[in-house]
Amino acid sequence: MKKYLLTLLLVAQPIFSELVLEITRGSDNPYSVALINFNGSNSAKYQVTSIVKNDLDRTGEFRILENNKLLSIPSSEEELNYSDFKLLGVDFIVMGSVAEEDISNIAATYKVFSVKTESQIRTSTVYGVPNKIRQLSHYISDGIYEEITGLQGVASTRLLYVTEERSKDRSLFKLIVADADGSNEQILLRSTEPIISPSWSPDSKQVAYVSFETGMAKVFTQYIATGKREIVLENQFQISSPSWSPNGKYLSLTMYQDGNAEIYILNLKNKNLTRLTNHFSIDTESSWSPNGSKVMFTSGRSGSPQLYEINLRKFNTMPKRVTFEGNYNAKGSYLPNGEGVIFVHRKNSSFQIALKYFNENFVRPLTNSKLDESPSISPNGNVIVYAISENGTGLLAGVTLSGARFRLPIQKGEVREPSWSGFLR
């Protein structure tokens, strides 16, 4: 097993104008993979090779060698001379081809070989359509990642986020969904009023968010495919901070019924509300543990924002304080394995993304710029995407637990509040 070092992540980052992968430090012991250019009759082969390389690079788990770094370039298994790869310290070889099945279908076939055992370990075919080469390539990347690491890949997942473009006297807000690498952006909602706190349903078919379009904060849910949406609760109160339960049946949210932020659980089917907190200080930013038994939230009850959790399986239980280090710990979310929490942590005057394992009594900082916020973890638990502020504008950055860093393309306006989908493949 590979050991992940979290302490070596703190390196300054330059600005990029488009998707550039900046691996300041990858895993201590990356897998060395020879990625032979895809061949075949379809011209998409070049794009496929390049997207797969980017996807694998961004995981931070690999050292990728392309054709120009190799001693020989086999075009089939028969031409494969393992000793040429052993000399270069290659662990795995990937080769593949892209072909047209007919006018509306293309098929990509790829094979993975182990240099150690000198044998083929995987052969896979992915079927797609010609104008969706990116998705097809992400499927290939995830198959390779899975074969080598034993973990499910996230190249074929999606990100949800909010952008704001300011003009003289008004702003345009957009809720956008994009591939995990930031490309293929598509707009879910456009509004001149703020949109905040987007999140995914567990099946990744719906999103929930807060829109101010009615004049105050209200929670909406919306189907991605059809655009069908609804306001989850019709009443006169402000409602915000939605979070779906893992089984998809409930939405935890913050409602300002008595003027103060309190957390409630809404049954989406019968619209019953159960009150979860009752305190004169602020309680908000709820999120569910992976098995749905606990809800984490931010509370000001100690005099400063700190994370607390409530066990839903126990009757009348008191919230248990989770963070003690520093005077600002907020917007917590559980790791997919339930072993810890990621959150926004203030250190001196900087806001950073931090990780705390429940069996440790200290905070592990993951980032080090001034105004980092809104961390969201990938469904395989290996990558955290978050919002940063730079030269007065917001953009998205990511860090893997093995230490690789990357940034998503800067597009027009300010980008904020990324939320990672579940597995789609």
Partner 1 sequence: MFNIQSKINKNLFNLFIFVFLISSCSSINVTEEVVYDGGISTVEASIREESSLDYETRAIFTNATVYFEFDKFNLNSKSLQTLKSAVAAMKDNSSIKITISGHADERGTREYNLALGQRRAESVRDYFAVNGINANRVTVKSYGEERPLSDGSDETSYAKNRRAEIN
DSSP letter string, 118-138: TEEEEEEEEEE-GGGHHHHHH
Segment near partner 1 (CB under 8 A), from 31-39, 66-74, 90-98, 371-379?
371-379
Q: Is residue 129 part of the contact set for partner 1 (CB under 8 A)?
A: yes
Instruction: Compute the half-sphere exposure of residue 353: CA atoms within 13 Å on the CB side of its CA.
Output: 27
**Interacting residues with partner 1 between 170 and 209 (CB under 8 A):** 177, 186-197, 205
Give burial (CB, 10 Å; 0-12/13-18/19+) of 355.
buried
User: x-or-dash pattern for partner 1, window 211-250, by CB under 8 A?
Assistant: xxxxxxx----xxxxxx-x--------x-xx---------
**Interacting residues with partner 1 between 24 and 83 (CB under 8 A):** none
Cα separation, 129 vs 148, in Å, equals: 27
Q: Is residue 373 part of the contact set for partner 1 (CB under 8 A)?
A: yes
Out of 43, 72, 81, 119, point to the residue binding partner 1 (CB under 8 A).
119
Q: Is residue 121 part of the contact set for partner 1 (CB under 8 A)?
A: yes
Q: Is residue 252 part of the contact set for partner 1 (CB under 8 A)?
A: no
Compute the least distance from the CB of residue 191 to partner 1, in Å. Answer: 4
Segment near partner 1 (CB under 8 A), from 27-35, 54-62, 139-147, 309-317?
139-147
Cα separation, 271 vs 201, in Å, equals: 17
Out of 67, 89, 127, 165, point to the residue binding partner 1 (CB under 8 A).
127
Compute the least distance from the CB of residue 177 to partner 1, in Å. Answer: 6
**Interacting residues with partner 1 between 323 and 352 (CB under 8 A):** 328, 330-331, 344, 346, 351
Cα separation, 226 vs 223, in Å, equals: 6
The candidate with the shortest Cα–Cα distance to 244, out of 221, 226, 273, is: 221
User: x-or-dash pattern for partner 1, window 282-321, by CB under 8 A?
Assistant: x-xx------------x-x---xx----------------
Cα separation, 145 vs 92, in Å, equals: 11
Out of 123, 235, 274, 302, point to the residue binding partner 1 (CB under 8 A).
123
The candidate with the shortest Cα–Cα distance to 55, out of 124, 144, 116, is: 144
Cα separation, 388 vs 380, in Å, equals: 23
Compute the least distance from the CB of residue 15 to partner 1, in Å. Answer: 16
Whose structure tokens read 């809404």? Answer: 266
The H helix count followed by the E strand count for the chain is: 3, 30
Residue 24 vs 191, nearer CB to partner 1: 191
Compute the least distance from the CB of residue 385 to partner 1, in Å. Answer: 16
Out of 2, 116, 132, 275, point to the residue binding partner 1 (CB under 8 A).
132
> For the sheet containing 340-347, what is the strand order?
329-334, 340-347, 350-357, 364-365
Cα separation, 334 vs 356, in Å, equals: 10
DSSP letter string, 219-265: EEEEETTT--EEES--SSS-EEEEEE-TTSSEEEEEE-TTSS-EEEE
Compute the least distance from the CB of residue 190 to partner 1, in Å. Answer: 5
The candidate with the shortest Cα–Cα distance to 27, out of 382, 400, 403, 365, is: 403
Q: Is residue 415 part of the contact set for partner 1 (CB under 8 A)?
A: no
Residue 284 vs 402, nearer CB to partner 1: 284
Out of 154, 417, 418, 420, point to the residue binding partner 1 (CB under 8 A).
417
Segment near partner 1 (CB under 8 A), from 14-22, 47-55, 123-131, 359-367?
123-131
Q: Please tell me the count of residues contacting partner 1 according to CB under 8 A.
A: 76
Strand ranges inside 322-371, DSSP E: 329-334, 340-347, 350-357, 364-365
